[in-house]
Amino acid sequence: MNVILEKYHGLGNDYLVFDPNKNELCLNEENIKLICHRNFGIGSDGILMGPVFDGKSIQVRIFNPDGSEAEKSGNGVRIFAKYLKDAGYIQKNHVIFKTLGGEIEAYYLNEEGSRLKISMGTLSFWSDEIPVAGERREVVNEEMTFRDTPYLVTCVSIGNPHCIILMEEISKELVCHIGRFSEAAPYFPNRINTLIMKVMDRTNIAIEIYERGAGYTLASGSSCCAAAGAAFKMGLTDPKCYVHMPGGTLEIEICEDGRVMMTGDVCHVGKVTLGHTFSEKLRNGNPEPK
């Protein structure tokens, strides 16, 4: 039986949806790496495995292209909500499902389900909840050193960890340079997503992103929430702002109760049917090409 996946992207951040109810394959680190490989596989920023049903609740598991599991992904949860509607699992105008990083509530803003508003959870700047090593504290404008260079950083969790560095100018090259060293720095027991951020005005910020387990990405929904939350925490922006990335823009709102709402689009690219030989290679556990 051939393996079938659905490919989507949110602002250029592309994911494959693996529906365990329609496939006979046990995902593991090696075959996730092979599927996501951009030369030897399909190519993807990650895999969304779901829906997984636990009683009445729906769950999704989010995997990075290196095979590690992520707690949450803003683009990923929008994509998964769109898939639930496309596949006929959901007919209502909203859906609630679980991720490793917490519960998600998604609202469909159009009939196609391609524009969504997502309740992403609550931001935490507390070190033990992110986590960041050391005594319990809010990690705001704290100096950290990555490969001999000191930076003022703000760290935050929205179910997954982020390190935000405020800068006057940002670029892909700079975030990749920092991210290679910050991702697994001793400060961060579970590794971390690295963002460099430029504040344009009270309602607009721009970020570049180096994701834990994935590297440089064109867009990240959870990173947008983290950056908007950090900018608001530091008094630099209003509670509602637009976060600009190379892949596009998301609208983020920090609510009075601390919840973060994210609004943006996703696109269904198409169905991918893996060939018989490749499908059997995945089942037989053949390793990723070096």
The pTM score is 0.89
DSSP secondary structure string for all residues of 197-262: EEEEETTEEEEEEEETTTEEES--HHHHHHHHHHHHHTTSS-SEEEEEETTEEEEEEE-TTSEEEE
Query: What is the tens place of the pLDDT at every residue in 180-231?
Result: 999 999 999 999 999 999 999 999 999 999 999 899 999 999 999 999 999 9
Please check whether residue 212 is in contact with residue 157, taking contact to mean a CB–CB distance below 8 angstroms: no
Q: What's the pLDDT score for residue 257?
A: 86
Tell me: is residue 64 an annotated ligand-binding position. yes
Tell me: is residue 74 an annotated ligand-binding position. yes
Segment 158-164 shows an average pLDDT of: 96
Please check whether residue 227 is in contact with residue 234, taking contact to mean a CB–CB distance below 8 angstroms: no
Domain ranges of the chain: 3-114+267-284, 122-263
Segment 262-289 shows an average pLDDT of: 88
Nearest Cα residue to 121 out of 80, 68, 73: 73
Count Cβ atoms below 10 Å from residue 88 Cβ, excluding itself: 7
Tell me: is residue 75 an annotated ligand-binding position. yes
Q: What's the pLDDT score for residue 286?
A: 63
| Kind and range of the H or E run holding 263 | strand 259-265
Tell me: is residue 169 an annotated ligand-binding position. no
For the domain spanning 3-114+267-284, the CATH number is 3.10.310.10
Nearest Cα residue to 262 out of 126, 159, 139: 159
Segment 229-255 shows an average pLDDT of: 97
Tell me: is residue 284 an annotated ligand-binding position. no
Q: Which CATH number fits domain 122-263: 1.10.1760.20, 3.40.50.720, 3.10.310.10, 1.20.1250.20?
A: 3.10.310.10
Average pLDDT along the chain:
95
Residue 4 predicted with pLDDT over 90? yes
Tell me: is residue 13 an annotated ligand-binding position. yes
DSSP 8-class letter at 266: -
Tell me: is residue 190 an annotated ligand-binding position. no
